[in-house]
Chain A
Amino acid sequence: MKRINRILPVYAADISGVCSALYELGGMTVMHDASGCNSTYTTHDEPRWYSMDSMVYISALSELEAVMGDDDKLVRDIVDAARNLHPRFICLGGTPIPMMMGTDFKGLARMIEKETGIPTFGIATNGMHSYVRGAGEALRRIAERFCPTADELEEIKAGMGQMGKGFPEGPGSGGARLGVNILGATPLDFSLTGNVSGIRKFLSCHGMETVGCWAMKSSLDDMRLAGLADVNLVVSAAGLPAAMELKKKYGTPYVTGTPIGRRTALRLAGLLRLGAGTGKNQSLFGGEASGEGVSGLHHAGPCIPGLPDDLSRERVLIVGEQVIAGSLRCSLREDLGARDVTVLCPVEGSESMAEEGDMLVWDEDEAISRIGRSTVVIADPLYRQVCPKDKQAAFVDFPHEACSGRMYHSAMRPFVCGS
């Protein structure tokens, strides 16, 4: 039945995605909400909260302010805090009640920016979508607002050349080393287990250089130089809106896929070169190699403990975010010989990245039924509770921060192939 989860969890919401994407950039993110969204985000959706400070706040909206439509208080509170904290930008995100009130985030952002001079933008999230949408929109706004125009970028490049800075034989210079932006990296999909370092290493191993990683372990200044890249790598669906924005701004092509498993990673590296060379977008999915089965190469397969050695006769179900799950599917086929693999995407997904039989619209009953029909299930451990106990199906733990939060941190391993 639509909307009902009798036992399975819900995923991190759009507002958490916004906060997660902007966390390390020195800005101030304000959730316009009464309470709850902040502690939910900081407890379950943000593994950096204890060890890395960030200016993420709640507006503490009260019933009276909501009924009276008192936006002035919100503006005043944000301006006061900004004067004390000096953020590089201010982002205002919405939750269900502002949606009910019809809060004008664009107008509020304009008022705050006028008063503080700090770049401010509002994102009209409403807590009713997944983190994919929130993080995607937040990263897109960074590209739109902070990345210079193509003309300005040329001036920056010229300046960097004169000062001896930048990438003399690398990104954007037509040299041998391709410059790549990693788009869509947040702990909600990649946790803090070394996946992001793995992606950087993967690029480096293939003679490429990371220009910026959107948005972990890169500063806002690094990200502003995104236009220097030859090609963008979209490692999760949250990176797609920014990739499209950067394509619009600079014409930079993007490649969709996550380096999981050696053969798939190798193909992805080839696609990056192809994309950079042709200027056309590429994707791991639907490519020629995705149907090729190669068995007996377990050592080259995805780094997910518990995967059976031979998947050629198995009916495999992967539950997860679409780009990562789709990349894993490629790896299972190319590295472990799997034939029958479907993806269940419990968050926003796109038909263009899906294969026939994939499930993109959430329905718990249907999800449980599919799990019951599969012989190998690769999913967050919280899905174990609906795996039929009497069947011999193999359940492979694939913990996902946006699903079980911190519950399985100790069992998390990097799944990215760093070579």
Chain B
Amino acid sequence: MLKNLHEAAGCPLGKQTEGPDAKGTATELAALSGLAPFTYGLEYSAPARGGWTIVHIGMLLPESHQVFVCAQSCLRGVVLSAAELNDSDRFSTITVDEESVLDGNCEEIIIEGITHILEGLPKLPKALLLFTSCIHHFLGTDMKLVFGELDRRFTQVGFVQCWMNPIMRKTKMPPDPFMRKQLYSLLRPARTDRRQVNIIGSNLAIRESSELYRGLKENGFFLKDICTCRNFEEYQEMASARLNIVTHPLGRPAARELKERLGQEWVYLPVSYDWDEIGEHWKCLSDLLELDWDCVWKSLKLWDIRKKAEEALIRLAHMLEGWSVVIDYTASSRPFGMARLLTRYGFRVDRIYADTISPEEEDTIAFLKERCPHILVCPTVHHKMAVLPRGLYEESGGRVLAIGQKAAYFTGTPHFVNMVEDGGLYGCGGILELAGLMQEAAMEEKDTGKLIQVKGWGCFC
């Protein structure tokens, strides 16, 4: 039972028994203007924790050890992320205190600290991810000096410069894409294998339901992804790929860097919930791999998959007549695209939770504005979201299907598809699997509170 803290009297601004109004926390698509529809000030943090942190991303690098150099408040979250993964033995910290800031010897503290840590480990790691923080950013800590000395002391260890500097999250290179980029910084030039293709910049491996694996295998190619690398050697083999495919928008800086440094070609083929776009992606990939597109299309039986998925979606939409569907931005990098697909087959999408909108979805929004102008777009971090009622599930008689953890939390529904970052769904097969996941979510109640508070959904560790 949630306690209504506003029942308390005593605020000089007046007694408020009803809680705050919802003004500023929802806008109909028809009235939406721009890609940042909400005004932000103080921010709320919903207890949905499936999104990956930089610790989870760093753990993808096999045989690596992470060291965070931060103040205690910053260390706390990452330390427990590692502990919850049962990976504390791959994780160490150097605490920044007032004395180290005032003395101005951060470089020395880091160098000696890392040396102490490495000398005490049972075995030297292949890679060490060194995370410094906002403080070092402002202090102007000489990281070139730090890495130069560490390289000299530990020639067998590959050092990776990482940042935990959320103060940069509103800049062109926030910590998340920077981290995804740095993961590949230890790849060294290698002879190109014309049969190898990489997935770059994703946190979750593409699921077997996708036709991508079959499409590549049937044409003599194989796929590498850091998410499935079991050791450092396999990771190094990624340097041999002829082509890097990026499916997540935040993975693009990584691919650009690899093109610049290793000369690897890359292509952005994002997760899509649009049949035509998926077809275009396949056509593009076929051209880049010098394959006959028509043959690929036929051999993969893409029409059949699409037909099955469409039938499943129509059946489910019929079954869920009268239900509200709500989607959030953590479930998919294309929440509006997903909404467009679902409305096309008869689902009633009522809400989309997204604080900002990707420019990639502008066309989709234009389409939805015309066809579904009453869909509500809602924020997740607006200060009122901390205290507004989360009762859509009860109000609608228990007929709310959420896709994503935040959508489930804000509507209070136990019927939800538990996934983040598109959950590894990709291509036509991904849409077919999504239909199955939605059906499963509609049929069974989940323990929302328990599931959404788990950090790093699907983390392999």
Contact = CB atoms under 8 A, between A and B. Distances in A.
Nearest to B135: A96
B334 interface: no
A45 B76 contact: yes
Given A53-B5, A54-B5, A11 B76 contact: yes
B88 interface: yes
B298 interface: no
A217 B387 CA distance: 19
A44 B113 contact: no
A150 interface: no
A83 B41 CA distance: 13
Interface string A203-242: 0000000000000000111000000000000000000000
A369 interface: no
Interface stretch (A84-92, A264-272, A293-301, A330-338): A84-92
Contact of A81 (B42, B96, B98): B42
A42 interface: yes
Nearest to A54: B5
Interface stretch (B9-17, B249-257, B305-313): B9-17
B3 A35 contact: no
Contacts of B6: 26, 85-86
Interface string A161-194: 0000000000000000000000000000000000
25 contacts: A3-B97, A6-B92, A11-B72, A13-B71, A13-B72, A13-B73, A14-B72, A26-B5, A36-B164, A40-B74, A53-B3, A55-B386, A57-B44, A58-B45, A61-B167, A77-B41, A77-B42, A80-B41, A84-B21, A85-B383, A95-B73, A126-B98, A127-B74, A128-B98, A405-B80
The contact size tier of chain B is: 35 or more
Interface of A: 1, 3-7, 9-16, 24, 26, 30, 33-40, 42-45, 49-64, 66, 73, 76-78, 80-88, 95-97, 99-100, 116-118, 126-130, 219-221, 382, 385, 404-407
Nearest to B174: A35
A51 B75 CA distance: 26
A356 B134 CA distance: 39
Interface in B80-130: 80, 83-84, 88-89, 91-98, 100-101, 109, 112-113, 116-117, 120-121
Nearest to B116: A1
Given A50-B449, A219-B8, 20 more contacts: A1-B116, A6-B120, A10-B95, A11-B72, A13-B71, A35-B169, A36-B164, A43-B453, A55-B383, A63-B168, A66-B138, A83-B13, A85-B20, A85-B384, A86-B6, A86-B15, A96-B74, A100-B101, A382-B83, A382-B88
Given A9-B80, A117-B12, A385 B88 contact: yes
Contact of A100 (B40, B135, B171): B135
A37 B75 CA distance: 10
A53 B14 contact: no
B226 to A, nearest CB: 24
Contacts of A3: 94-97, 100, 109, 113
B11 A88 contact: yes
B79 interface: yes
The 6 closest A-B pairs by CB, nearest first: A127-B73, A77-B41, A40-B77, A13-B73, A117-B12, A35-B166
Contacts of B96: 3, 96, 128
Given A53-B4, A219-B8, A5 B80 contact: no
A37 to B, nearest CB: 5
Contacts of A129: 72
Contacts of A54: 5, 386
Identify the interface centre among B2, B5, B96, B139: most chain A CB within 10 Å of its CB: B5
Contact of B71 (A24, A26, A78, A126): A126
Contacts of A77: 41-42
A50 B80 CA distance: 18
Nearest to A96: B71
A337 B1 CA distance: 44
A95 B455 CA distance: 23
A62 B168 CA distance: 7
Given A34-B134, A85-B6, A86-B11, A4 B449 contact: no
Contacts of A16: 73, 76
A37 B73 contact: yes
A118 B72 contact: no
Contacts of A30: 42
Nearest to B21: A84
Contacts of B83: 9, 382, 404, 407
A132 B84 CA distance: 24
A220 B20 contact: no
Identify the interface centre among A7, A42, A49, A52: most chain B CB within 10 Å of its CB: A7
Nearest to B97: A128
Nearest to A45: B76
A406 B138 CA distance: 33
Contacts of B134: 34, 96-97
B76 A57 contact: no
Contacts of A10: 72, 75-76, 79, 93, 95
Nearest to A27: B5
B74 A55 contact: no
Contacts of B2: 51-53
Nearest to A78: B42
Contacts of B386: 53-57
B391 interface: no
B354 to A, nearest CB: 17
A100 B98 contact: no
Interface in B2-43: 2-6, 8, 10-16, 20-21, 40-43
